[in-house]
Amino acid sequence: MQDKDRFEGQSVGESGSCLGFVRVVVAGKAFDLAVQALSFTKDGGGVAGGFFEKDGELGILLDDSVGPREAKRQIERGTQEAVRHLSRRVLN
Tens-digit pLDDT profile for residues 28-62: 999 999 999 988 776 666 666 789 988 888 999 99
13 pLDDT more than 60: no
Kindly give the pairing relationship between strand 16-26 and strand 50-54. Answer: unpaired
Q: pTM of the entire structure?
A: 0.75
Q: Which of 1-10, 39-48, 51-60, 80-89 has the lowest mean pLDDT?
A: 1-10
Q: What is the DSSP code string of 56-82?
A: TEEEEEEETTS-HHHHHHHHHHHHHHH
Angle at 57 between CA 8 and CA 27, to 5 degrees: 105
Each domain of the chain, given as residue ranges in start order, spans 4-91
Please say whether the dihedral angle defined by the alpha carbons of residues 6, 8, 13 and 14, taken in this order, is positive or negative: negative
Is the pLDDT score of 24 beyond 80? yes
Higher pLDDT, 49 or 13: 49
Nearest to 59 by CA among 14, 24, 8: 24
